[in-house]
């Protein structure tokens, strides 16, 4: 019985050397692993891969620059519009202040009524101006985001196309 066990053990070792199953020592050998990885990488079809990668990076940078330009232009538009709004409000208040005589009590009551109405109109205009500025800023940011979104979609499409080829 002891000889049968030895014979079975010898058969097992003989068969494992014939199929060359990797042992623990082989798996831990970094040179063999590096050689296997190098062989696998050489089998990949990367024709023009570096130029495609460079071109893709350039397109990404261009999209980012365009998005920044859109944001900057939007910010300039908002600042210009704010400046116009402030100048208009100052001009209205200056006109109202010039029209108010200070000596006649009856005129003062009428002027106070005008001032009150001007205050209400100015408040409403300020609310409308805030909405307009918010819309300008939102549109600017949406335009910039759309450029970036399109580039991301393009990258996804390129990767999908590359994966389908393999």
77 contact partners, CB below 8 Å, separation of at least 6: 136, 140
Total domains in the fold of the chain: 1
The answer to whether position 43 is within a domain reads no
Calpha distance 75→82 (Å, rounded):
10
The answer as to whether 60 is a domain residue is yes
Q: What is the DSSP string of 40-72?
A: HHHHS--TTHHHHHHHHHHHHHHHHHHHHHHHH
Cα–Cα dist 130/136, whole Å: 10
Q: Does 160 fall in a domain?
A: yes
**Residue range of the domain that includes 138:** 51-165
- Angle (deg, nearest 10), helices 49-99 and 105-165: 170
| Predicted model pTM | 0.52
Q: What angle do CA 41, 39, 31 make, to 5 degrees?
A: 110
In a domain, 16, yes or no: no
pLDDT in tens, the chain (166 residues): 555 555 555 544 444 444 455 555 555 566 666 677 777 766 666 566 677 777 888 888 888 888 888 888 888 988 898 888 888 888 887 887 777 766 666 667 777 777 788 888 888 888 888 898 889 889 888 988 898 899 889 888 888 887 787 6
Question: Looking at the domain assignment, is residue 118 inside a domain?
Answer: yes
Residue pair 95/114 in contact (Cβ under 8 Å)? The answer is no
């Amino acid at each position: 019985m002891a000889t049968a066990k030895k014979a079975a053990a010898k058969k097992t070792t003989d068969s494992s050397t014939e199929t060359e199953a990797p042992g623990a020592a082989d798996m831990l050998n970094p040179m063999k692993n590096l050689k296997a990885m190098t062989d696998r990488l050489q089998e990949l079809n990367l024709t023009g891969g570096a130029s495609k990668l460079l071109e893709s990076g350039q397109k990404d940078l261009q999209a980012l620059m365009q998005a920044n330009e859109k944001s900057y232009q939007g910010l300039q538009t908002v600042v210009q519009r704010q400046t116009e709004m402030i100048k208009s409000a100052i001009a209205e208040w200056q006109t109202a202040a010039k029209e108010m005589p200070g000596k006649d009590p009856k005129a003062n009551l009428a002027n106070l009524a005008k001032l009150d109405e001007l205050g209400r109109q100015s408040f409403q205009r300020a609310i409308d101006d805030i909405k307009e500025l918010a819309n300008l800023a939102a549109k600017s940011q949406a335009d910039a985001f759309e450029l970036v979104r399109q580039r991301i979609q393009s990258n996804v499409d390129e990767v999908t196309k590359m994966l389908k080829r393999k």
